[in-house]
Every structure is written in C-alpha cells, then in structure tokens.
Amino acid sequence: MRSSIATYRESLSRLAGEVDDATADEIPAPWPSRRGDHAPTPPSSGRRRRYTRPDPAEPDEISKLKEDIEKIQASEAEIKALSFNYAAMLKEKEEQLVKLREENGSLRRSMESSNYKAVSGNSNGTLQRSPSRMQRNTDQEKTSSVLKQNGYGGGASQVIQKNGPHPLPVHYKGDALVEERAYFASKQASLENEIKQLKQQLRCYSNKEDDTTRRLEDENKRNEFLQQQLNELKVDKEMVATTMEELHKELSEKKAELRCLQDELSTRDNERASDGSLQSLRSMVMALQKENSDLKIAKGSLYEELVNMESTTQKVDNSTSDVDNFSDVEKDLEDQEKMDEDSKVIEELRAICEQQRAHIVQLERALKVEMTKQEESKKTINDERSRSNEQIEDLQYKLANCMNALESKDQELLNLQSALGQYYAESEAKERLGDDLAMAREALAKLSESLKVANQGIEISRR
C-alpha cells in the first residue's frame, strides 16, 4: 500500500510539473509542504501581459495554448486514472476493515464461549474434556501460536509460568475473569469507537474524492468548451485572412482599373486637345454649308437665267443657224456639268460633316459613360474600404475577446493548480489514514494476543 501511495505521489508531482510547463508564462505558485499546509496562491502570480493589439505571432501563441490544453487534458486523464486507483485502494481498506470486524467478532465470540465454559467447568467440578472443549483448546492453541508469532507474551504468561501447575483459588479465578471481561469490554468499546471514527474519516475522504472528481470533470468540460472556442476563433481567423486576401486582390484589380481609366482619360484629354482640329473642321463645315447655300442660291439664279436664256435663245435663235444653236447648247451642257460637279462636292462635304457629328456624339456618350463608371468605381472602392475597416474592427474585437478568454483560462489553470495542491495534501492525509489503519491493526493484534493469554490463563486455572 505504501508503494502504491508513493507511486501515486510521484504521478501527482509529475502532473504538477506538466501543469507548470503548460503555464510557463505565469509565475509558478508554491507547492504545499509535506503535511498539507497549503498556502493560497497570490493573485499576482497568475497575471499575464494584457493584449491590447493583435501581434503578428498570434498563430504561434494559439498553437502553444492548444498544446498546453492537450497536455492539461492528458494530465486530467492521468488524474482520473489515479482517482480510480485511489477509489480501489479505499475499497480495499474498507474490505480490510470488514475483515477486522469479522476477526473481532470471532474473537469476541470465542472469548464469551471460553468464559462461559470456564464458569460452567468450575461450578460442576468436572475435568473431563468434551469435544467442544477439545475444539476450544485447539482454538486457544491457534491464538497462542499467533501471539507467539507476533512476539507478545505479556505478564500474564510469565505469571502462569511462575505459578506452574499449582491451581489457583476459585474466588481468585472469578475476580480475574471479571476483571478480564471488564478490560476486554473496555478495549472492545474503544476499538469500536476507533473503527467508527476511521469509517467516518473514510467517508469524509470518499466525499472529498467525489468532489475532486467532479471538479476535474468540470475542468474537463471547461477545457473542451475553450478548445471549441479556440477552434472556432481559428476558423474565423482563417476566414478573415482569406477575405482580406480577396479584398487585397480586389483592391489591386480596382487600382489597375483606375490606372487604365486614368490612362484613357489622359488619352481622351489629349484627344480633346486634338479636338481643336475638330472645331476647326466644324468651322470649315459651317463655311462649306454657307458656300453650299450660296451655291444653291447661285444655282437657282443661274437656273432662272438659263430658263430666261432658253426662252431668249428660243426666241432669238429661231432665226439663227443650227451651228450657232449647237455651240450654245454645248456651252449650256458644260455649264450644267460644272453645276453637277459642284453639287456632288457639296453632298460629299455634307456626308463628311454628318459622319464627324455622329463620331463627336459617340465620343461624348463614351465620355459620359466612362465618367459614370469612374464615379461608381470610386463609390464601390470607398464602400469596400469602409467594409474592410469594419471587418478589421470586428476582428480586433474578437481577438480582444479571445485574449480575455485566454486570460480566464489561465486563471482556471491556476485554480486547477491549487486544486492539485489540495489533492496532494489529501493524498498525504490518506497516507496518514493508512498509517492509522496499520496502528489499528496492531492494536487488534495486541487485543487478540491478550485474549489468547486470557484463554491460556483460563485453561491453566481449569487444570
């Protein structure tokens, strides 16, 4: 039993060392002394540095904390195994107490039977040995052998050896039996009280053990809950990292689009600078239109003149020769051809002007569309920036909450360390209880030896 308690103590010290390694950032609390004088841990021992801003080495710290939590879970599993072993030890001790009770009852019954038979033998004066007396003698010989093995002879055996085979008086025998009965009754009462006290202590220790197991289960549940929270925070952090990367990519794309738009705007500004030539072309088109209108007016006047000339020629040339008429017609045809060529040039100039007008309208529409797109892109960029800032603030808030949760976890680890210290003190108290049980066994052995000595005295007195 002592070796099992020693191994139990070594495992507890090893678990305490693991807990100290897990809480390496904290100031280690002093362990209780050998006899359970557990000193309360100071409140400043569990203070860690406060996190106001997220550091770049947060994933490493989270992984370290995860490893520490895994170590604590392993240590809790070992503590559970040790608690089960301790429960088995308590059961063994209870069984030993039951056995001691049975031995005490058997000794009591043998003592009562021996006293009753001694009194009946003295009153009848018979010295014949009945089968029950032979059995009693065998029982007494066994108890005397046990006493000799334990090394207890006492003064009663010495008195018997001194007296030798000489018989004692009857009144002396009765007084001795009464005194022995009173002595054994008092001893038995004291032993029963001690056994009751030991049983009460065992019950108290079992209740304490149940409380410690419940605390350990609560700590297990809290550790699992905190681990789930850490996993969720890790997943959230990864999601936020991915969203930040996507936002960075979108921002870079938007920046590239803005650069392209700026280049297009610069090219369009250059085109606008070159649109001075368009204005000059417009002025030329206006001048050509004016010339066209003038030419139309001139054409009309010429057409009227031609009509008048034709009428006049018809009137005048009725008497002229056919050659003169032919020459005049050729001149008129040449004039008509010139007029047709002038009209064709005017129509070509009109088509060019209309094409230029349509192109100018298209350019103005494209400029308006690009300006609206640029404004919308600016609005989207501003919205995305505001969203990213809100997400960053939310992440900072979540990180602050995570750090607070980690600090509360560190406080819980300190509480667990103090609970382990109490558990260590309780194990020492249980060891002391084992020593007390050993003392009780020795006392019971002494009582059995004294009972055997009394039985031997009774047998000698009968002889």
Angle at 250 (CA atoms; ends 249, 256), nearest 5 degrees: 90
- Cα–Cα distance, 289 to 291 (Å, whole number): 5
Tens-digit pLDDT profile for the chain (463 aa)?
A: 445 555 655 665 665 566 556 555 443 333 333 333 443 444 333 434 443 444 444 556 666 667 767 777 776 677 777 767 767 777 777 777 777 778 777 777 777 776 666 656 555 544 444 444 444 444 444 444 443 444 434 433 333 333 444 444 445 556 667 777 787 778 778 777 877 777 777 777 677 777 777 877 777 787 777 777 777 777 777 777 677 677 767 777 767 777 777 677 777 666 665 555 556 656 666 766 676 677 667 666 666 766 666 666 666 556 555 555 556 666 777 777 777 787 787 788 778 878 878 888 888 888 888 888 888 888 888 888 888 888 888 888 888 888 888 888 888 888 888 888 888 888 888 888 888 888 888 888 888 788 788 778 778 877 7
Which stretches does DSSP call E strand in 164-263?
none
pLDDT tens for residues 60-77? 666 666 776 777 777 667
Q: What's the pLDDT at 96?
A: 75
- Nearest to 75, CA basis, from 4, 6, 24, 22: 22
- Give me the residue label for tokens 């080495």: 57
Q: What's the pLDDT at 304?
A: 72
Q: What's the pLDDT at 317?
A: 57
- Nearest to 451, CA basis, from 193, 188, 192: 188
- Cα–Cα distance, 408 to 308 (Å, whole number): 116
- Cα–Cα distance, 46 to 418 (Å, whole number): 12
- Nearest to 91, CA basis, from 8, 209, 231, 256: 209
- Nearest to 364, CA basis, from 429, 275, 294: 275
